[in-house]
Amino acid sequence: MRVKMELAGGTIKGALSWSFLTEFLIKLLQPLSHFLLMLFLAPSEFGIMTSAFVLTSFAQIFWEGGLTKELIRRDEEVEAAANIAFYANVSIATFIYLIAVNLPESLFARFAGGEQISDVVSVMAIYILLGSLCSVHVALLQKKMDFKNWSKIKLTVAILTPSISVPLAYLGYGVWSLVIGAVIGQAAQVLISWFVSDWRPALRFGNAKLAFEMARFCFWVTLSSLLVWFYAWADSLIVGVYFGTEELGIYRSASVIAAAGFGILFAPILPVLYSAISANKSSENLALTAKFVISIIIYIAVPLAWALFSLADILEATFLNEEWAGFGAVFSLLVLMHGYSWIVGVNGEFYRSLGRPEIETVVTGAGIAVYLTGYLLAARFGFDLFLQTRLGLALVFLMLHIVVLGNVVNVDIKNIFSQIILVSFASASIFGAMNFLLQEMLPIIQFMAIGLSLAMVLAVILFLEKNGLLLMVRQFQESS
- State the CB neighbour count (10 A cutoff) for residue 240: 27
Residue 313 has pLDDT above 70, yes or no: yes
The pLDDT-based confidence of 455 (bands split at 50, 70, 90) is: confident
- State the CB neighbour count (10 A cutoff) for residue 5: 15
Give dist(CA 478, CA 131) in Å, integer. Answer: 40
- pLDDT tens-digit series, residues 54-90: 877 877 776 555 677 777 777 777 788 888 888 888 8
Give dist(CA 121, CA 49) in Å, integer. Answer: 9
- 49-87 residues labelled b (16+ CB within 10 A) or e (exposed): bbbbbbbbbbbbbbbbbbbbbbbbbbeebeebbbbbbbb
Residue 5 has pLDDT above 60, yes or no: no
Predicted local confidence at residue 3, as pLDDT: 33
Residue 227 has pLDDT above 90, yes or no: no
- pLDDT tens-digit series, residues 91-138: 888 888 888 888 776 666 666 555 678 888 888 889 888 988 888 888
The pLDDT-based confidence of 15 (bands split at 50, 70, 90) is: low
Lowest-pLDDT choice from 152-156, 252-256, 336-340 = 152-156
Among residues 140, 138, 142, the alpha carbon closest in space to that of 271 is found at 142
The pLDDT-based confidence of 182 (bands split at 50, 70, 90) is: very high
Predicted local confidence at residue 454, as pLDDT: 74
pLDDT: is 163 or 352 the higher one?
163
Predicted local confidence at residue 314, as pLDDT: 83
DSSP 8-state symbol, 259: H
Question: What backbone phi and psi angles, to 5 degrees, belong to 173?
Answer: -80, -5
pTM score, whole prediction:
0.76
- How many helices and strands, by DSSP H and E, does the chain display? 19, 2
Distance of CA 300 to the CA centre of its chain: 17
Predicted local confidence at residue 36, as pLDDT: 92
Arithmetic mean of pLDDT, 328-352: 89
Among residues 276, 354, 190, 351, the alpha carbon closest in space to that of 9 is found at 276
- State the CB neighbour count (10 A cutoff) for residue 456: 16
Measured between alpha carbons, how far is residue 255 from residues 100, 173, 384, 387, 424 in Å?
26, 24, 15, 11, 21
Lowest-pLDDT choice from 127-131, 153-157, 373-377, 460-464 = 460-464
